Amino acid sequence: MSQGVEFNRLMLEMRSMQMEAMARPKVAAAPAEVGAPSFSDMLGQAVNKVNETQQASSQLAEAFEIGKSGVDITDVMIASQKAGVSFQAITQVRNKLVQAYQDIMQMPV
């Protein structure tokens, strides 16, 4: 059951990051707030969370495969799906970043 709670927490974090990014002013040369995380920090944290989710899924699957007590197949499947969804989400973020970079590079100077 803690897997579902973890997934909900991850989704809430992603939504709050989205709302925070949308709420920020769209000024190109705005000075950085003291203590505010940079975009690269936020992206790095997201990638690290995806990595942690995938590692936890792998460890849970291995524990189930060796027959460790207390590991249920439903927990393994939920962890696997959570890892897959988080990987797909970070892949879509990467795709959007690449597309934004390409759009900027094609702008006339």
Distance CA 94, CA 38 (A): 17
Do you know the residue count of the chain? 109
Distance CA 75, CA 80 (A): 8
Q: pTM of the predicted model, to two decimals?
A: 0.61
- Report yes or no on 29 lying in a domain: no
pLDDT score, position 20: 67
Domain enclosing residue 57, as ranges = 2-22+37-105
Number of structural domains in the chain: 1
Average pLDDT, the chain: 82
pLDDT score, position 88: 94
DSSP at 32: P
- Report yes or no on 27 lying in a domain: no
